[in-house]
Amino acid sequence: MSGVLVFGSINLDLSFRGERWPHPGETLLGSALKISPGGKGANQAHAAQQFGARVTMVGAVGQDEFAAAALANLERSGVDLTGVRRLPGAATGAASILVNGQGENAILVAPGANLHVRADWVTDAQIADSALLMLQGEVPLAESMALACRFRRLDRTVMLNLAPAQDFHLLAPDCLDWLIVNQGELAALAAALGLGASAAGVAAFLGCHVLVTLGGEGALACLSDGTEINVPARPARVVDTTGAGDTFCGVFAAALSLGTTVEAALKFACVAASLACERAGAQAAQPSRQDIDSAADVAPRILEIQKCHILWT
């Protein structure tokens, strides 16, 4: 019982590159188009599998021309896809991603089949075989919380990446061990709870660990007992930040499932996210465990290199 079960979205990404984003009503000529598998759930599952965890994906695609392409990397990497349903009449989720000359991105998602993912698709046998449940915000949050409570009743670790930030009233903090957000998502959640934008304050209020990704500044974990762990980022030459946050989440979940300490898992995740920023795409940019280990070994000796000071998505 050491696997990671990812309950979440599966998309096909259409990524457009240009020097800047168009203004409303403006048409620009871009420099490149990349079509590749994506979706926060699928990205995190792929990152966890790349790190060496045994990963099961539960989600949905349509019975359309996007489905096979959206699943290709998961299948190739060895993720268990028996929990993925092909829904007749539904479109496979898709994302339009605009990447500017600084590597920043703006993303619009058409959820499609992801809106029909249900907690009762997950079997008791799958739960029994999983040490950790990884959730995100691109499938119905009510379904994610229902599944989280089933996992918690069996004393399994439950991790929610609340991205995109939404439906705060549906959160079931008693069923969460880890809440992962970036700075913008933390501010939105704190405001909804009537709190200041403090990770420690949110952790104390919710009674679970809160992990904040800080882009080029690394990550901050505020544990429910008040302990704080701050891990700096590995400097990166930024090409594209798309999916870097998903890489972080997947590697962090995988490392914990494999028995590492929280601090070690944070270090692995920060290194993995920085490596993902140095290549274009989401899953296509995710590093292997060997890449992460090598970069983690040399990172302290890097003295001068451009850093990424924007939020991971």
Catalytically active residues are: 246
Which residue type occupies 200? A
How far apart CA 155 and CA 210 sit, in angstroms, is: 19
How far apart CA 44 and CA 38 sit, in angstroms, is: 9
The interaxial angle of helices 262-277 and 244-257, nearest 10 deg, is 150
Phi/psi of residue 26, nearest 5 degrees: -100, 145
Contacts of 234 by beta carbon, 8 Å cutoff, 6+ apart: 270, 271, 274, 275, 295, 296, 299, 302
The DSSP symbol for 232 reads P
Residue with tokens 């850093």: 307
How far apart CA 146 and CA 117 sit, in angstroms, is: 12
Cα torsion 171, 189, 55, 66: sign: positive
Comparing CA positions, the residue from 278, 308, 97 lying closest to residue 213 is 308
